[in-house]
Structure 1
Amino acid sequence: MEITLDKKSTTEGLIKIRLTEGDYQPHVEEKVKDYARKANIKGFRAGKVPSGVIKKMFGKSILVDEINHLLSHKLSDYIKENNLKILGEPLPDQEKAMGIDWDSQKDFEFEYQIGMVEDFSYDLSSKVKVKAYRIESDKKVIDETLADLKKRFGKVSYPETSAAEDNLFGELRGEDGTVKREHAFIAVEKVDKKEQKKFIGIKKDDEIEFEINKAFTDADQIAQVLGISEEEAKNEKGKYVLKVATISRTEPAEINQELFDRVFGKDVVKTEEEFMNKIRETIAENYKRETDHFLEHYIEDYFLDNTKINLPDGFLKTWLKATSKGEVTDSVLDKEFSGYVRGLKWDLIKTKIADDNKISVEAEEVKNKAKDLIVAQFGGPAIAQQLGDKLDSIADNYLSNENGQNFMRLYNQLKNEKIVQYIKEHITIDEKKVSVDEFKKIVEEHKH
């Protein structure tokens, strides 16, 4: 057997594997004997089928299987032994393979196209400076959060006639009568003050005609009402008709121990002062998640802009098309290839940082992450107390579902968090205090 690498460039190459009869024939003969022992063929006793019969009936398929098996292992071993940092998978030369005469040929030659990434370096030091923002929550935000919690955990009733604090549910039609949403929802208090009177004093089965861009001045509200993206909502105009099916009203909950327990779990806070402090902590934590997420974008931008990585673009395009079952075409590549390359480079940088600094994730950490996720999804700290020891078995079941994909998803998420945290600890982060509105403007202006 002879394996060679023909490097076309620093990032693309051709692995050639030459096989002689002596390389594969012993494996073929062993497989023929195995077939003979197990075959159940009419006219022959079990385990007594002559090798000649097996070769005549299955010889070619055995030969192909054994050579493919041999090639797979030798190709993998060669890549590992020569420390080739390949991208994707080796692509076999299909045209060359199609020309093989499996009936008479004794010696074979196979070729595999590979894409490689050169070794690269990155700067992970205090010299690296990245911007970050810290949102300061003012009294207005705290008051709005408290009002929202009181309403969310309040008592719901269904009045006959709508008022300014009510919610309207029903079928939403366009001006031409086409049903846009069967179950639309409008919070009257979110409607522009000048238009609110159209939504007050309404009863079940009444119809309200309104202009969407006059009733709502914020794109996020239009998006929520119409069930479209915020980007689409920015250009949305025209008249709509809401046929009211249900009117709901929520009487705000009182600030007492029952509310404390429903929001944060039983006996986590016991006084109004503790409750307000916990709200402030929660708001700060929520904003921190947003700013941390945005900081990751800045970190990603910095390393992509300042880390030189040569990639085999030609091979990658060929590989993506060859392995996509027809879903990736030239037109798709024209639109999405730059984004794919960006993601690939960032993954390569993070992987190298993890390898260089021995950043890893243990199975127990993944399980704890799953438990946190389950608790968050099913009501917060209160549910954890109710479940007790059952939480462990629920987490195990969740991680084993979907053939372990849930485990790998959380594993990758945790590893990414560890890598990003390691980066943050070794670079200089210039933090600036901003208001909520200022931060929203910064996010809007930031585009990849």
Structure 2
Amino acid sequence: MEITLDKKNNTEGLIKIKLTEGDYQPNVEEKVKDYARKANIKGFRQGKVPTGVIRKMFGKSILVDEINHLLSHKLSDYIKENNLKILGEPLPNTEKALTIDWDVQKNFEFEYQIGMVDDFPYELSSKVKVQSYPIEVDQKTIDETVSDLKKRFGKVNYPETSEADDNLFGPLKETDGDFSREQSFIAVDKIEKKEQKKFIGVKKGDAIEFDIDKVFSDENLKAQVLGVSPEEAKAKKGKYILTVETISRTEPAELNIELFDRVFGKDAVTDEAGFIAKIKETIGENYKRESDHFLEHHIEDHFVANTSINLPDDFLKAWLKSSSQGQVTDEVLGQEFEAYKRGLKWDLVKNRIADDNKITVEADEVRAKAKDLIISQFGGHAFAEQLGDKLDAIADNYLQNENGQNFMKLYNQLRSEKILKYIREHITVQEKKVTVDEFKKIVEEHKH
């Protein structure tokens, strides 16, 4: 057997494997004998089938299977032994393979195209400066949240005439078109201010005609009213008619112990001051997650933009098309290849940082993560106390499900979290505190 690597450049190469009869024939003969012992063929007693009959009936398929098995192992071993940092999987030269005459040939030559990544330097030190935007929970956000909670847990009634905070229900149809929806819903306070007067003071049975783009500047609201996707909603124009069948009004709940218990659980807070403090804490935790997630985007941006990595574009395109079962076409590559390369570069940087700094994840950490996930989904720590020792078995069962995919999903999540934590600890994170509205504007303006 002869295996050689013909490097086209630092990122592309061709592995050639030459096989002689002595490389595969002993195993082929052993498999022929094994078939003869096990085969159940009419006219022969089981275990007494002549090997010549087996060769005639199954010889070619046994040969092909054995050579494919041998190639797979030898190719993998060669890559590991030579420490080749390959991308994707080796691509066999299928055109050359089709010229093989399995009935006659004794010696074979196979070729595999590979894509590789060169060693690359990266900067991980306090000299790396990345901007972070921690969110300050201002009074406006607290007031809006309290108002929303009072409304969400308030008492619903059904007045005869609509007001500014009411909801209108009924069939919706296009004035000069075929579109119609059997039941739609419009929240009057979500309508553009200058258009709200059309929806105030109406009664059941009234028909309201309106221009949908004047009434809803937000495509998501427009989509909700029409019951279509935001993309479909963009194409919907012109006038529509809502026939009011029901008017609902929510009387805000009072700030009392009943509301506190409904929002945070029994006896979690006992007075208005504690309620407001808990709301601020909860909002702060939620926005911290958003702020941290946005910081991770900025870290990714920095390393992708400032780390030079040569990638084998032609190989990657060929591999993506070959491994996608027809899902990736030239058109798809034209639209998405740059985004794929960006994600690949970031993965390569993270993997190098993890390898260089021995960042690992143990199985016990994955199991602990699974237990936390199960506890959070099924009622918190009270649920965990009820389960007792059974929680370990439930976690193990969850991790084994989906052919181990659940384990790998949590493993990769934990590994990514550890890598990003390590990065944050070794760079300079410059903080600029912002309000919720300022943060939303910054996120909207951020482009990859």
Give the TM-score, by structure 1 length. Answer: 0.91
Q: 1:29 to 1:247 in 2, by over 3 A?
A: farther
Separation in 2, partners of 1:372, 1:250 = 37
* Map of 1:309 onto structure 2: 309
Question: How far is the alpha carbon of 1:181 from its aligned partner?
Answer: 4.9
Asked whether 1:6 is paired with 2:13, we answer no
Gaps of 5+ in 2: none
Question: How far is the alpha carbon of 1:280 from its aligned partner?
Answer: 0.5
Asked whether 1:121 is paired with 2:121, we answer yes
Separation in 1, partners of 2:69, 2:394 = 40
Bigger drift between 431-440 and 381-390 goes to 381-390
Separation in 1, partners of 2:180, 2:220 = 17
* Map of 2:50 onto structure 1: 50
* Map of 2:208 onto structure 1: 208
- For 2:189, what is the secondary structure of its paired residue? helix
Counterparts of 1:28-427 in structure 2, within 5 Å, are 28-179=28-179, 181-204=181-204, 206-226=206-226, 237-373=237-373, 381=380, 384=383, 389=388, 398-427=398-427
Question: How far is the alpha carbon of 1:216 from its aligned partner?
Answer: 3.1
- For 1:194, what is the secondary structure of its paired residue? helix
CA distances 1:347-400 after superposition (whole Å, capped 9, x unpaired): 11111112222223334444444455456556x659847975576666555544
Separation in 2, partners of 1:255, 1:391 = 38
Q: Is the contact between residue 208 and residue 242 of structure 2 (CA under 8 Å) also seen in structure 1?
A: yes
Q: 1:431 to 1:258 in 2, by over 3 A?
A: same
Q: Is the contact between residue 384 and residue 391 of structure 2 (CA under 8 Å) also seen in structure 1?
A: no
What residue identity is the alignment partner of 1:155?
K
Question: How far is the alpha carbon of 1:135 from its aligned partner?
Answer: 1.9
Separation in 2, partners of 1:251, 1:392 = 46
What residue identity is the alignment partner of 2:281?
E
Asked whether 1:435 is paired with 2:435, we answer yes
Question: How far is the alpha carbon of 1:282 from its aligned partner?
Answer: 1.2
Separation in 2, partners of 1:375, 1:264 = 17
Q: 1:98 to 1:155 in 2, by over 3 A?
A: same
What residue identity is the alignment partner of 2:295?
L
Q: 1:347 to 1:443 in 2, by over 3 A?
A: same
Separation in 2, partners of 1:428, 1:119 = 25
What is the aligned residue count?
Answer: 447
CA distances 1:220-257 after superposition (whole Å, capped 9, x unpaired): 53344345666876786532233445443333233233
Bigger drift between 240-249 and 303-312 goes to 240-249
- For 1:134, what is the secondary structure of its paired residue? coil
- For 2:10, what is the secondary structure of its paired residue? coil
Question: How far is the alpha carbon of 1:202 from its aligned partner?
Answer: 4.2
Question: How far is the alpha carbon of 1:184 from its aligned partner?
Answer: 3.4
Question: How far is the alpha carbon of 1:140 from its aligned partner?
Answer: 1.3
Bigger drift between 279-288 and 187-196 goes to 187-196
Gaps of 5+ in 1: none
Q: Is the contact between residue 133 and residue 432 of structure 1 (CA under 8 Å) also seen in structure 2?
A: yes
Question: How far is the alpha carbon of 1:62 from its aligned partner?
Answer: 0.3
- For 2:409, what is the secondary structure of its paired residue? helix
What residue identity is the alignment partner of 2:334?
D
Separation in 2, partners of 1:422, 1:336 = 30
What residue identity is the alignment partner of 1:104?
V
Separation in 1, partners of 2:205, 2:364 = 55
Kindly report the root-mean-square deviation, in angstroms, between the aligned alpha carbons of the 2 structures: 2.7
Separation in 2, partners of 1:397, 1:385 = 16
- For 1:135, what is the secondary structure of its paired residue? coil
Q: Is the contact between residue 163 and residue 200 of structure 2 (CA under 8 Å) also seen in structure 1?
A: yes
Q: 1:385 to 1:66 in 2, by over 3 A?
A: closer
Separation in 1, partners of 2:175, 2:362 = 57
Q: Is the contact between residue 375 and residue 384 of structure 2 (CA under 8 Å) also seen in structure 1?
A: no
Separation in 2, partners of 1:280, 1:52 = 82
Q: 1:210 to 1:328 in 2, by over 3 A?
A: same
